[in-house]
Structure 1
Amino acid sequence: MQSAVDTIEKLQIKLTDFAKKHQSDIQDDPAFRQQFLQMCAPLGIDPLVSQKGFWAKTLGVGIGDFYYELSVKVAEVCFATRTKNGGIMAVSEVCDTLNKNKNKNYNNSNSRSKKEQQLYSQNDITIAVKKLSTLGGGFRTIKVGKSDMIVSVPTELDNDHMEIMTLAAAHENGGGGQPSGCITVDDIKQQLRWSNDTGRIDRAISLLLNEGMVWKDDYHGISFYWFPSVWKEKMDIM
């Protein structure tokens, strides 16, 4: 038992030396940062919550502070776009927005423009959202089809809402007869097999409409329901 403890302590010391040596890489390189966090986990070290001692001093503002500051930026982006998407936004879109803003600020403050680089990863954004979730307010990530989405409102989304959004996300490149992120009531009836439950569809769509998570477009007597968060996600992929 003592041998195992000694081994862990030695590994922790080596990890400390590694962190000191690669401090700038941990702060500036999202891929390197993720690998570092993976190295910490088996040793029972969580630099995200260690605000005292080595982890606070050696890493400058601290990697924990890095994610606290990032969580504020994530919240700002989500709040700024809430009127457009109803409080649901793709992790990839938030990541792209923050990277563009960071690179723009850097280039504006330097005489020589630096080539745009990935300063935050989608994993960084997900970690930041987990920090926000502990503060309340409804922040959380959900899976819609193949995409990770951030929900920034306390609205409860049940299985019916998730199935409808997943169906909209599945209409990639016009699949299912509709553009990406767009569905009709007939799509829901046929593909989710809810043909005999119009009330169920109305209840689910009504909440999504009221929250602004879906837009309604009537064309030639047919109501098309657009999901801005899903539609934007598909545009970014394409």
Structure 2
Amino acid sequence: SLASAVETVKKLEIKLADFAKKHKKEIQHDPAFRKRFLEMCAPLGVDPLSSEKGFWGMLGIGEFYYELAVKVAEVCIASRSRNGGIISASEVKSILEKRGTKFKFAASSNSSNYTKDDIIACTKKLSVLGSGFRTIQVGKTTMIVSVPTELDHDHMEIMSLAQQHADRGVTLPQIMDDTGWNKDRAKRAIKLLLTQGMAWLDVYRGQNYYWFPSVWKEGLEEDEEVAT
């Protein structure tokens, strides 16, 4: 019955709170443990990130993600002139690390005190501001979009293709060959990306090459990781 189901959920929430009390330090200091804990909370509708009262507030997760979200937003906004409002979560993390950004909540002497997953989680909270913040998947890379521009499947396809050819950019004929699209469809998708500053145009020997700053950098970083 419904009453029985509600009672079961309440009992599980109590057990979850007991678990959180027992493992408070791990949740605060171990990014991997924190991720798993949040995954446990989701099915029960418990959102420690938004809870500021009672035990969940004392746990401090909401405050930590709020602080992190502010820093992530700063990086995204500051980089818009370069990437048009789209940047990989890993690049955001790299920039924050270079700045030496630390948080008391998750201070750790053994490892980074926040991960790419934390950045992705707090970005989802930024989406409620209605300012365009959201995450999208380009190939295997999670990108953060900080502008309200609507990107459809075609735009994702082009950026994914650009990521595969990060060392030389992509051309219109190449996009058409790889996707099977006609010229009008390919040009329409490229036009929006150029207009928004998400893509750059480079003309070399009469051929237009399209570069995507964030995707290009992410692709090169992946190549370096494979090489090492």
TM (norm. structure 2) is 0.83
What letter is aligned with 2:24?
Q
The offset of 1:157, in angstroms, is: 1.6
Q: Which residue of 1 aligns with 2:20?
A: 19
Q: Which residue of 1 aligns with 2:72?
A: 74
Are 1:222 and 2:220 matched, yes or no? Answer: no
Q: Which residue of 2 aligns with 1:50?
A: 51
Against the structure 1 CA distance between its residues 19 and 212, is the aligned structure 2 distance closer, same or farther, given a 3 Å change threshold? Answer: same
Aligned length: 217
Kept after mapping to 2: 8 A contact 1:93/1:236:
no
What letter is aligned with 2:175?
I
What letter is aligned with 1:73?
K
Q: Which one has a bigger Cα radius of gyration?
A: 1
Alpha-carbon separation, structure 1, partners of 2:178 and 2:80 = 29
Are 1:166 and 2:164 matched, yes or no? Answer: no
> Which of 128, 133, 138 is matched with 1:134 structurally?
128
Against the structure 1 CA distance between its residues 42 and 218, is the aligned structure 2 distance closer, same or farther, given a 3 Å change threshold? Answer: closer
Question: 5+ unaligned residues in a row in structure 1: which ranges?
Answer: 107-113, 173-178
> Which of 174, 180, 189 is matched with 2:176 structurally?
189
Local SS of the residue matching 1:47: coil
Kept after mapping to 2: 8 A contact 1:12/1:43:
yes
Alpha-carbon separation, structure 2, partners of 1:100 and 1:27 = 22
What letter is aligned with 1:165?
M
CA RMSD after TM alignment: 2.4
Are 1:152 and 2:146 matched, yes or no? Answer: yes
Local SS of the residue matching 2:87: strand
Alpha-carbon separation, structure 2, partners of 1:7 and 1:159 = 41
Alpha-carbon separation, structure 1, partners of 2:7 and 2:193 = 56
The offset of 1:135, in angstroms, is: 0.7
Question: 5+ unaligned residues in a row in structure 2: which ranges?
Answer: 103-107
Alpha-carbon separation, structure 2, partners of 1:223 and 1:142 = 27
Against the structure 1 CA distance between its residues 200 and 42, is the aligned structure 2 distance closer, same or farther, given a 3 Å change threshold? Answer: closer
Are 1:87 and 2:96 matched, yes or no? Answer: no
TM (norm. structure 1) is 0.80
Kept after mapping to 1: 8 A contact 2:164/2:219:
no
Q: Which residue of 1 aligns with 2:105?
A: none
Q: Percent identity?
A: 58
Q: Which residue of 2 aligns with 1:199?
A: 184
The offset of 1:8, in angstroms, is: 5.2
The offset of 1:42, in angstroms, is: 4.2
Against the structure 1 CA distance between its residues 115 and 25, is the aligned structure 2 distance closer, same or farther, given a 3 Å change threshold? Answer: closer
Kept after mapping to 2: 8 A contact 1:88/1:152:
yes
Kept after mapping to 2: 8 A contact 1:98/1:120:
no
Alpha-carbon separation, structure 2, partners of 1:140 and 1:42 = 22
The offset of 1:223, in angstroms, is: 1.3
Are 1:209 and 2:203 matched, yes or no? Answer: no
What letter is aligned with 2:151?
L
